[in-house]
Amino acid sequence: MKSYSWLILFLLGSLVVFAAAPLIGGHGVSLESILRPDPEDPAGTIFWDIRLPRVCLAWIAGAGLAMAGMAFQSLFRNALATPFTLGVSSGASLGAAVGVRLGWGAALFGLSGVSVGAMGGALLAIAIVYGLTRLKRDCTTSAMLLAGVAVNFFFSSLILLLQYTADFYDTFRILRWLMGGLQMVGFEAPLRTLPFVGAGGLLLAVLVGELNLLSVGEELAASRGVAVARTKTVLFLAVSCMVGAVVSVCGPVGFVGLMCPHICRLIVGPDHRRLLPATILFGGAFLVASDTVARTVFAPTELPVGIFTSFLGGPFFLWLLLRGPKSS
């Protein structure tokens, strides 16, 4: 099947998942109760105020994390580079946890202190990992993963320190948030995340040619006309902000950025002109579906979606690692 036909399938699949997910759950929701909400029946409220915003957030966050994974994989030329493995998610978590611990309620340019903290943490993490691989002049899988592991450990220990020194309420908030979840009411959270994911996606779309060339090598990219240093700086900044924005709302939902771009690359190929839209559509649908499973499988108890994606992602990561030199 041609890769453009696959894209149409991805679009239809993503739409179906998006439309079906809010209808699934412990409380049955009929079309009638959605279109004509009855004050006596909570179905309308459940659909409009709880499930639909949650599905929107899951789609936006999934698309954002998948795009971020795709961009990191191209920039590091490595299928194992993702926000999670590079320590960017834990950097964002630390920033957000600092925000929670210090009670940063004040907004900066309309962003909450927690969001700004998460973006700052994400940028710090990517700067450290990228700096380490540049310093060692070594962008191999092992060097990059070790740098990511080191950053993860370091930031995790700082998060533990924060939790240890926090009171019971803040500790619980940080811990619960670290599990990664999409529980919220109303459209505020999706609307807060959308501009960053939208702007990040637009920037990646503008730079698809650059991403293609960077993924085959920086020297080759420069010789074909890519302003390598400037493009990489812009991409690292934008993608880290995008991860920070998602993580500050949903927590560090792991492995979406690893699995989605990889599966899409297997289906539509590595050319970013097709890979980017496929990754957005698949990533969005993937997190919506994962969240739907997470909130229904042990109903009425809802699992945080981060637990579910990590459950899938761990074995996937090992499979990629064991596939041998092709993926390294």
Partner 1 sequence: MSEPALEIESLSLSIRGQSILSDVSARIGAGETWSIIGANGAGKSTLLKCLMRIHTGWTGHVRLHGQSVADLSQRELARRIAYVPQPGGDQRFPYTVREFVRMGRFAWSGPFGTAHPGDADAIESAMKRADVEVFSDRALGTLSGGERQKVFIAAALAQGSDMLMLDEPTAFLDYRHQAEVAEIVHALNVENGATILSVTHDVNAAMLTGGHALALRGGEVVWTGPTGELACERILGLIFGATFRFLDDPVTGLRLVAPQGARTPS
Q: Among residues 13 and 209, whose Cβ is nearest to partner 1?
A: 209
Q: Among residues 78 and 82, whose Cβ is nearest to partner 1?
A: 78
**3-class SS of residue 318:** helix
Q: Among residues 39 and 225, whose Cβ is nearest to partner 1?
A: 225
Least CB distance from residue 197 to partner 1, whole Å?
18
Q: Report the distance separating Cα 90 and Cα 245, nearest Å.
A: 13
Q: Among residues 63 and 122, whose Cβ is nearest to partner 1?
A: 63
Q: Among residues 199 and 228, whose Cβ is nearest to partner 1?
A: 228
CB count, 10 Å around CB of 2? Answer: 9
Least CB distance from residue 14 to partner 1, whole Å?
21
Percentage helix, strand, coil for the chain under 3-state DSSP, each rounded to 5: 75, 0, 25
Least CB distance from residue 322 to partner 1, whole Å?
16
Q: Among residues 78 and 93, whose Cβ is nearest to partner 1?
A: 78
Q: How far does CA 52 lie from the centroid of its chain?
A: 19
Token pair in block for residue 238: 């934008």
**3-class SS of residue 108:** strand
Least CB distance from residue 82 to partner 1, whole Å?
15
Q: Report the distance separating Cα 196 and Cα 161, nearest Å.
A: 30
Looking from the CA of 163 toward its CB, the CA atoms found within 13 Å total 16
Phi-psi region of 8 (alpha: psi -120 to 50; beta: other; left: phi over 0): alpha
Least CB distance from residue 224 to partner 1, whole Å?
5
Q: What is the DSSP code (8-state) at residue 182?
A: -
Whose CA is closest to 69, among 274, 239, 192, 313? 239
Q: Among residues 40 and 219, whose Cβ is nearest to partner 1?
A: 219
Least CB distance from residue 51 to partner 1, whole Å?
34
Task: Give the binding site for partner 1 (CB under 8 A).
Answer: 74, 77-79, 205-210, 212-213, 215-217, 219-220, 222-228, 265, 269-273, 325-328
Least CB distance from residue 144 to partner 1, whole Å?
12
For 27, residues 6+ apart whose C-beta sits below 8 A from its C-beta are: 42, 43, 46
